[in-house]
Structure 1
Amino acid sequence: MGSGDGSGAASGGEGPTGSGGTLWRVIWLVLLLLAAIWVAGFCAWWYIMLIPFTVCFQPLAAVTDILLRGSQLTYFCTKNMMDANTFGEAWANAGATVPPTVLVIQS
């Protein structure tokens, strides 16, 4: 038998998880399956249709930005489900909850 004096803190995730438990994971899963997939699909379709017109009509970029965030709704729900966040915690982190990207643009 071993003994140790570790702190008990685990390492290996991106950060701390939320204060919700299994019930919140189920709530996020239901929200993902019943609403987020459909909203994201709707937003993605409109985003694809409108993005070419932002070259000619710059104010349309505000609309396409909202549609892009809508199409990322499935990521938002899944991230909060995996972190077991409550709705309050999810809302507080909503601005920073975007999918990771590897695109690097150098000018």
Structure 2
Amino acid sequence: MGQGGSGGTSESTGSGGILWQIIWLILLVLAAIWVAGFCAWWYIMLIPFTVCLPPMAAVTDILLRGTQLTYFCAKNMMDANTFNEAWNSAASTVPPTVLVIQNSG
């Protein structure tokens, strides 16, 4: 699988078919949205405390991955991945981001 830049986009699709897309859609609607909402609330509440308590960053990192669960399900639905294929690519399946760094000088 070719991993392109940020976001873990893959050029190939999974070995699952329409049934796997339906399974991922059901998981997205019935579970992922609710889990992501729960994690997002806790992430918002706890992230300011990581300034004073840097070890808490491990907790907020897990919560951030929980908020990205909807992306994970949607990505695997569109790629028609089986659970095994999704599990193998889980670490690199993150939403694409655009990071702009400005030099002050």
Fold match by TM threshold 0.5: yes
Counterpart code for 1:74: T
Q: Distance in 2 between matches of 1:104 and 1:92?
A: 30
How far apart are 1:105 and its partner, in Å?
A: 3.9
Question: Under a length normalisation based on structure 2, what TM-score does the superposition of the two structures give?
Answer: 0.86
For residues 12-50 of structure 1, the C-alpha deviation after alignment (integer angstroms, 9 at most, x for no partner) is x84000000000000000000000000000000000000
For the aligned residue pairs, the C-alpha RMSD in angstroms reads 1.5
The residue aligned with 2:37 is 41
Query: Which segment is superposed worse, 54-63 or 96-105?
Result: 96-105
The count of residues paired between Structure 1 and Structure 2 equals 95
- Write out the 4+ residue segments of structure 1 that deviate beyond 4 Å after TM superposition: none
- Structure with the greater alpha carbon radius of gyration: 1
Which structure exhibits the higher relative contact order, with contacts defined as CA atoms closer than 8 Å and separated by 6 or more residues?
Answer: 2
The percent identity for this pair of structures is: 79
Cα distance change of structure 1 residues 65 and 85 upon mapping to structure 2, 3 Å threshold: same
* Unpaired segments ≥5 residues, structure 1: 1-12
Q: Does 1:85 align with 2:78?
A: no
Question: Under a length normalisation based on structure 1, what TM-score does the superposition of the two structures give?
Answer: 0.85
